[in-house]
Amino acid sequence: MFNFFNLGKVFEVTSRSIKYVFILFIIVLTIGLTEALFLSPEDYKQSHSVRIMYVHVPAAWIALGIFSMMTFLSVGTFVFKNKKFFLISKSLAPSGFIFNIIALVTGSIWGKPTWGTWWAWDARITSMLILALFYFMYLLSWRIIENKNSVIKISSLIVIIGAINIPIIKFSVNWWNTLHQGPSLKIMSETTIHSSMLIPLGIMTAAFALFSLLIFLMKFNTEVIRIKNKGLDRL
């Protein structure tokens, strides 16, 4: 199960890999930003404000992806009492929250010149705001609940309840009339983003994923050190 030896081994890997992930992140981010800000063409309709998309869309994807991962980890924590999953979930949450906020803010900045408004209470934007609130609730629950056993249970339940929102976010633009545009990348049909714009989008997504991994590793190591200092039986 969750013994010192195992955790020590994991820590050895996670603490060492940080600098490599950091170097890789800087490289990919540099390529991604050069592509997104200078090399990629402007859009036929929105001209240069299309460049906001290269931050907005990857940030939203990562925010959704991390919450989905946290959902599986929380089910594992709650049902099977897995004693590592909640640590992973707790370490993932901050970067998911950050990217959720970035997606909301960049969306707002894009919305003003494109739509003509900073904010609209349409289904996509509101459901994304609800996701941010769930992230916030999750992070807060670790701060305010003292009892170790209850905080593990309650935080997992917050994620599981919030997970119902994930398909609503995904399909909000198909189910209802929204101001937000529909999906450009579809599984069943052709993508409606030109390839010269798809490449920087992909690289920026990779860069953001690496950044999440970096923050995750740092946070995870901090948690492990904290457990080590407190002694294992306290967990």
Partner 1 sequence: MVKKVKLRIAFLLTLVLSLILSVYLILKSLEKDVVFFLSPTDIKNLEEIGTKKIRVGGMVKNKSISINTDKINFIVTDFKNEINVSYSGSVPNLFSENKGVVAEGFLQDKNYFRAVKILAKHDENYMPPEVKESLGEK
Residues found near partner 1 in the complex (CB under 8 A): 41-46, 50, 53, 75, 78-80, 113-117, 120-123, 157, 160-161, 164, 168, 176-179, 181-184, 192-194, 196-197
Between 17 and 46, CB nearer to partner 1 = 46
Q: Minimal distance in Å, beta carbon 226 to partner 1? A: 27
Is the CB of residue 97 less than 8 Å from the CB of residue 59?
Answer: no
Q: Which is nearer to partner 1, 64 or 218 (CB)?
A: 64
Is 47 in a helix, a strand, or coil? strand
Least distance between partner 1 and beta carbon 116 (Å) = 3
Smaller CB distance to partner 1: residue 20 or 121? 121
Tell me the backbone φ, ψ of residue 154, rounded to 5 degrees: -65, -40
Element (H, E) at 8: helix 4-34
**What minimum distance in Å lies between the beta carbon of 136 and partner 1?**
19
**One-letter amino acid identity for 195?**
S
Q: Which residue has the tokens 């709650």?
A: 78
CB of residue 175 vs partner 1: minimum separation in angstroms?
Answer: 8
- Closest separation between CB of residue 178 and partner 1, Å? 5
Q: How far apart are alpha carbons 184 and 174 in whole angstroms? A: 12
Nearer Cβ to partner 1 (101/157): 157
Closer residue to partner 1 (CB): 38 or 44: 44
| Angstrom distance (rounded) from CA 127 to CA 130 | 5
Q: Is 126 helix (H, G, I), strand (E, B) or coil?
A: helix
